[in-house]
Each structure stands twice: as structure tokens, then as C-alpha cells.
Amino acid sequence: MTASVTVHDLAKMIDHSLLHPTMTDTDIAAGCRLALEYDVATACVKPYAVALAREILAGSDVRVCPVIAFPHGNSTTAVKLHEAETVAIAGGAEIDAVINIGKALGGDWDYVRHEIREINQAVTAHGAILKVIFENDYLQDAHIIRLCEICSEAGVAFVKTSTGYGFVKQPDGSYNYKGATDHHLRLMREHSAPSVQIKAAGGVRTLDDLLRVRSLGVTRVGATTTKAMLDEAKQRFAKMGL
């Protein structure tokens, strides 16, 4: 870290993720209070929890970030549009939406392009912004490049690597995921328009991870280890006398 980067800068890179399927309303409320305490960019919540998050975050500049078609992206475009409009009207300021992964893998780019454009238009009409989730673990570089081009043409705010739940069957039969790899982040930055920001999700767990992806042009991350990362940042700055 250098004096040009502050703890506040790092905090405002973080969407504090509250998306695990086992999280109760009590868990989500506690997570929103942590997001408020650390003054992060957003609390990233399940669609039904927008009202709860808004209540806790009222009066702050921590935004509410609901996800839609999460985590697999398999809903019809009509359902995604309804979900996106519903959460935007409810107060979701930033909306993370999963693409139809099978359509991308099948090369049905007209479908993918139309869906992304429709969702982006729907959320921006209500004053929100869109982050498009690719789920890179399932994709090849050529798919990622094409998605970046489509998202750039559509004028979305962010492209995002992963949901954090895109588990792929490994050769040994286990399921795991890589999430935000340096290679994919560089690829996304290179092939996205300058106006499109990059969000890394999956595998950004430490302060060093956060600083590394920042150096690659990432401006937002999805994280569950927010407290640990920012506490360590405060400690490092203190030792450096900054």
C-alpha cells in the first residue's frame, strides 16, 4: 500500500456479500450493520432482503445491491426483467444479474445481447446500475471476450467474474471453483470499454488479494471477509505511519 491508497478507498471497493443460502434475516441484518460500520460500497443481498437492508443502511452512503437470477442465470428474460424492476423499485441501487450461461456456451449471442440490453435498460430507467455476472469458471476466453464486447455495447456499469457459487466438477470428482483469476481480470479489462468497470468475485479473501486485483484495474470486489481485510489495512497503515 502507498499513501495514495486509503482504507476508505479500499472499503469503497467492497460489495459485502450476504448471499449464502443458509443466511437468515438475523444474519443478513448483522451483515448490513457490518457493512455500515466499515462504510463499504454496498451490502449485496438476496432480492427479498432489499427492504431490510435499506432500513439498516438508511442515511448512509452504503448502497443496497440485490442479485437477480442468482446464481445460475437460468430464468427467462421476462422473469429476469420482472425481478430486476422489482428490486430497483424497492430501492436496489446496484443490481448484479447472471447471464444465461448455457446460451453463451451455445453461441446464441443474439439472445445474450438482447437479454443484457433489456435488463440494463430496465434498471437504469429506475436510477440503478447493472453489473453483469459471467461465471468465468464455466467459460473459455473467447466467450469472456465476446461478453465484454456485448456489455460494452450495451453500456452496462460493470462486468463481474463470478457468483462465488459456480462450482465445477473436478477430475477427482470434487466440486470447486477458481473465481476471479488474474488472467480473467486482465482479459476483462482489456476487452471492456473504459467506461465499464470490473468486479472480481470469488477468491478475494485477504488484503493482499484486494490490493492485487486493484492493481489489475478492478474497482469493485464481492467479499465475505470484509472485516478481516479492512482491519488488516488499518493495521498496516498504522505501522507505516500513514
Strand, coil or helix: what is 175? Answer: strand
Locate 58 and state its grid cell.
Answer: 438508511
- The boundaries of the domain holding residue 96 are 7-240
Catalytic-labelled residue, pool 15, 80, 96, 137: 96
- 26, part of any domain: yes
Catalytic-labelled residue, pool 160, 178, 208, 239: 160
- 108, part of any domain: yes
Q: CA 144, CA 139: separation in Å to the nearest integer?
A: 7
* pLDDT of residue 43 exceeding 80: yes
160 noted as active-site residue: yes
Catalytic-labelled residue, pool 46, 80, 131, 199: 199
Q: CA 25, CA 48: separation in Å to the nearest integer?
A: 10
C-alpha dist (Å) from residue 241 to 9, 105, 238: 17, 50, 5
Q: What CATH number should be reported for the domain holding residue 161?
A: 3.20.20.70
At 239, the pLDDT band (50, 70, 90 cuts) reads: confident
Q: What was the pLDDT predicted at 72?
A: 95
* pLDDT of residue 83 exceeding 60: yes
- 162, part of any domain: yes
Q: What was the pLDDT predicted at 242?
A: 61
Q: What was the pLDDT predicted at 166?
A: 84
Angle between helices 109-124 and 77-90 (to 10 degrees): 20
Q: What was the pLDDT predicted at 37?
A: 98
Lowest mean pLDDT among 13-17, 34-38, 172-176: 172-176
In this prediction, residues 13-27 reach a mean pLDDT of 98
- 2, part of any domain: no
Phi-psi region of 241 (alpha: psi -120 to 50; beta: other; left: phi over 0): left
131 noted as active-site residue: no
* pLDDT of residue 241 exceeding 80: no
Q: What was the pLDDT predicted at 172?
A: 84
Q: What was the pLDDT predicted at 12?
A: 98
For residue range 196-232, list pLDDT tens digits in order.
999 999 999 999 999 999 999 999 999 999 999 999 9
* pLDDT of residue 175 exceeding 90: no
178 noted as active-site residue: no
Q: CA 123, CA 111: separation in Å to the nearest integer?
A: 19
Q: What is the pTM of this model?
A: 0.95
* pLDDT of residue 154 exceeding 60: yes
- 169, part of any domain: yes
Domains contained in the chain, number: 1
- 1, part of any domain: no
* pLDDT of residue 117 exceeding 70: yes
